[in-house]
């Protein structure tokens, strides 16, 4: 195969670098007001007033009954899994951020990798059942890029085999399915409030359980296992969110809806500009109020586009545009999983295809429409007809 055209770079590079994401930061004067309150009270951690306010605000915004806040999403997932008292094996996806399977490692659990769907890139629910053994205790699925998993099929399997269902919802803040909050599915959902996320507390995370009885236990686990000043009931960690993080979160929550509206306009621009470009498929499914608007991700089919994903990723840098190859490498490629048959390439054909084709594009409310159009023009200029 050879290419019939080359990139001329007739389009000038952008003057300022454009990154794949940018933190949503609140008005600093409003934040100063909250921080002054924290300073005056001298209560900077351990379930202070800002922390309690954020819990209530998130319950209302996410339409949930209970939530437990953490200093980061990884520890939230680690302790959430410990709360469920899982054993043996957990069926999960190889196409996710390392933290997902690392949480299993820290709980002494073995991941069993299941291939992913072609369209959504989520775990393929129809391939889960064949991986279940007498050692399986749970399914850990990820709402990849905010696209909801096949929650109905996953729940059907879980009930049939008496398995717990955990959702890594790091990308799914505010996502709904049929007007129902996504966290109402499964036994537990983890949310990430990292600076790269739509809603952030700089670093942070949360757990949502559908069994309210578990909240008390996880609140103890994130506070060293303490149930009173003199009683340690569990082997826990220090994973509490502090008042500074909570203060940021309260102010960020005020501007979330405005940010979602801005991202919706950016999404429309991308879709209009990239419509019918050979070899380019938009993966993220944005459905107005039902979407998390976390990322805008495309799939690049080298045979149709004439350029590989890696080539596009590197060439964009010459134009001051910085994209992200989520999720490279696959978690199943980690050396410590090489002995697992489920990690072998032959068992994960779609995941291996997808990991070489996915590209996360710049996507945040601060992007100007003209810059998005320029980015799309640059991408379209990379297109090269291919002769077999």
Rounded distance between C-alpha atoms, residue 26 and residue 44, angstroms: 20
* Calpha distance 76→166 (Å, rounded): 12
- Cβ atoms of residues 350 and 267 within 8 Å: no
Determine contact, residues 114/103, Cβ cutoff 8 Å. Answer: no
SS3 317: helix
Is 176 an annotated catalytic residue? no
Adjacency order of strands within the sheet including 296-300: 280-282, 296-300, 358-361
Q: Locate 388 and state its tokens.
A: 């077999």
**CA atoms of 226 and 220, how far apart (whole Å):** 5
Helix, strand or coil, per DSSP, at residue 271: helix
Which DSSP string do the residues of 101-153 spell out, in sequence order? HHHHHTTT-EEEE--B-TTT-SB-GGGTGGG--TTEEEEEEE-GGGPPP-HHH
Taking the C-alpha atoms of residue 273 and residue 220, their distance in angstroms, rounded to an integer, is 50
Mapping DSSP to helix (H, G, I), strand (E, B) and coil, where does residue 243 land?
helix
Sign (positive or negative) of CA dihedral 290, 293, 294, 295: positive
Which residue is it, tokens 């049939």?
160
296, 281 contact by CB (below 8 A)? no
Q: How far apart are CA 210 and CA 158, in angstroms?
A: 15
3-state class of 207 per DSSP?
A: strand
Residues paired with 92 in a beta bridge: 113, 140
Are the CB atoms for 181 and 64 separated by under 8 Å?
A: yes
Options 197, 217, 222, 240, the catalytic residue: 197
The CA–CA distances, whole Å, from 30 to 172, 274, 277 equal 27, 39, 44
| Positions marked active-site | 197
């Amino acid at each position: 195969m050879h290419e019939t055209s080359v990139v001329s770079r007739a389009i000038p590079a952008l003057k300022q670098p454009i990154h794949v994401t940018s933190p949503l930061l609140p008005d600093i004067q409003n934040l100063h007001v909250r921080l002054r309150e924290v300073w005056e009270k001298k209560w900077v951690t351990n379930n202070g007033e800002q922390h309690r306010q954020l819990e209530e605000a998130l319950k209302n915004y996410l339409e949930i009954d209970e939530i437990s806040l953490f200093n980061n999403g990884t520890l939230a997932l680690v302790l959430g899994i410990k709360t469920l008292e899982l054993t043996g094996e957990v069926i999960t996806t190889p196409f996710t951020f390392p933290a997902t399977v690392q949480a299993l490692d820290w709980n002494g659990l073995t991941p069993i990798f299941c291939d992913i769907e072609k369209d959504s890139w989520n775990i393929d629910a129809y391939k889960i059942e064949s991986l279940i053994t007498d050692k399986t205790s749970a399914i850990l699925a990820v709402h990849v890029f905010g696209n909801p998993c096949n929650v109905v099929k996953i729940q059907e399997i879980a009930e049939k085999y008496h398995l717990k269902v955990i959702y890594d919802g790091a990308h799914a803040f505010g996502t709904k399915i049929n007007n129902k909050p996504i966290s109402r599915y499964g036994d537990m959902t983890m949310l990430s409030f990292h600076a790269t996320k739509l809603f952030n507390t700089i670093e942070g995370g949360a757990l949502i359980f559908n069994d309210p009885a578990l909240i008390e236990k996880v609140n103890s686990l994130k506070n060293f296992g303490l149930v009173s000043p003199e009683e340690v009931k569990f082997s826990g960690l220090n994973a509490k969110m502090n008042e500074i993080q909570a203060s940021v979160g309260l102010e960020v929550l005020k501007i979330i809806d405005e940010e979602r509206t801005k991202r919706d306009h950016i999404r429309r621009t991308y879709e209009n500009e990239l419509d019918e470009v050979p070899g380019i498929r938009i993966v993220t499914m944005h459905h107005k109020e039902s979407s998390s608007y976390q990322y805008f991700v495309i799939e690049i089919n080298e045979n149709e586009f004439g350029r590989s994903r890696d080539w596009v990723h590197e060439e964009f840098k010459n134009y001051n545009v910085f994209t992200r190859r989520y999720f490279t490498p696959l978690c199943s490629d980690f050396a410590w999983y090489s002995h697992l048959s489920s990690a072998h390439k032959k068992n994960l054909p779609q995941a291996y295809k997808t990991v070489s084709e996915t590209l996360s594009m710049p996507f945040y409310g601060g992007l100007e429409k003209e810059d998005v159009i320029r980015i799309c023009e640059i991408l379209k200029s990379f297109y090269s007809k291919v002769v077999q």
